[in-house]
Amino acid sequence: MKKIICFVIALSALMLAACGGGSESAGNAEGSKYVFKTGNVTVAMNADAENVIANLGEPKSYFESESCAFKGLDKQYTYSSFIIDTYPKDEKDYINAVTILDDTIATPEGIRIGATVSQVDTAYGSDFTVLGEEGRSYKDGDAEIQFLVTNGLVSSIKYYAITGLN
């Protein structure tokens, strides 16, 4: 009988003990070396989007979508040469992705659409995951940068936020 009572008490203690609450956080406080820059504005993944969007000025187009069930809006700001996507959390918006659309903008490491695969390798190194046949994905901290490659040339560059690291 003592065993049964001990088991039930142990089970109760286990259940009531402080265990991982599982609250999600907006990205990793450590950040990432992979950031997008345009003019004087630096766009880091998982950063608070408010100032970034304010500093970038009026977008060419704007699209928002409610997430299924949860409150808040996923937002997409399209500028002439790039797109910024944000995600909502705790009534604020955070940077979720940046997509470079044309060759007028280069990454801080000097890669733009049209660059060769070897130029990407030189700028970013060999620590990558292959995407498709020749594409590259580099991760650091809470950000990932992807280079899509078509016929040996970069056809798309996209930064993604890596969320839920904390």
Partner 1 sequence: MKKVFKRLLAGLIIAAVLLCSLWFLQRLLSPKYANEIIEGRLISEYYDNAGGNDVIFVSDCECYENISPIKLWEDYGITSYIRGSSQQLIWQSYYLLEETLKYETPKLVVFNVLSMKYNEPQNEAYNRMTLDGMKWSSSKWNSIKASMTDEESAITYLFPILRYHSRWSELSAEDFEYLFSAKKSFHQGYLMRVDVRPVEDYPTVTPLADYNFGDNAWYYLEKITQLCKDNNIPLVLMKAPSISPVWYDEWDSQIKEYAQKNDLLYINFLERLDEVGIDWNTDTYDNGLHLNLSGAEKLSEYFGKILQEKYSLPDHRSDPEMSARWQKYVDFYNEMRDDQYRELEEYGYLKSYGARAPK
- Residue pair 123/109 in contact (Cβ under 8 Å)? The answer is yes
- Residue pair 115/153 in contact (Cβ under 8 Å)? The answer is yes
Q: In degrees to the nearest 10, what's the CA dihedral of 99, 77, 29, 22? A: -100
- For partner 1, the binding residue among 63, 92, 108, 114 (CB under 8 A) is 63
Binding to partner 1 by residue 15, rule CB under 8 A? Answer: yes
Would you call 18 helix, strand, or coil by DSSP?
A: coil
The nearer residue to partner 1, 40 or 152, going by C-beta atoms, is: 152
The nearer residue to partner 1, 8 or 29, going by C-beta atoms, is: 8
Binding to partner 1 by residue 19, rule CB under 8 A? Answer: yes
Binding to partner 1 by residue 1, rule CB under 8 A? Answer: yes
Which class for 20: exposed (0-12), middle (13-18), buried (19 or more C-beta within 10 A)?
A: exposed
Tokens of 68: 């299924």
- For partner 1, the binding residue among 40, 65, 118, 151 (CB under 8 A) is 65
- Residue pair 111/37 in contact (Cβ under 8 Å)? The answer is no
The nearer residue to partner 1, 47 or 83, going by C-beta atoms, is: 83
Tokens of 148: 């899509």
Tell me which stretch binds partner 1 (CB under 8 A): 20-28, 29-37, 45-53, 87-95: 20-28
Q: What angle do CA 44, 48, 52 make, to 5 degrees?
A: 70
Binding to partner 1 by residue 146, rule CB under 8 A? Answer: yes
Q: Which residues bind partner 1 (CB under 8 A)?
A: 1-2, 4-5, 8-9, 11-12, 14-16, 18-22, 24, 61-66, 68-71, 76, 78, 83, 99, 131-132, 135, 137, 146, 148, 155-156, 158, 164
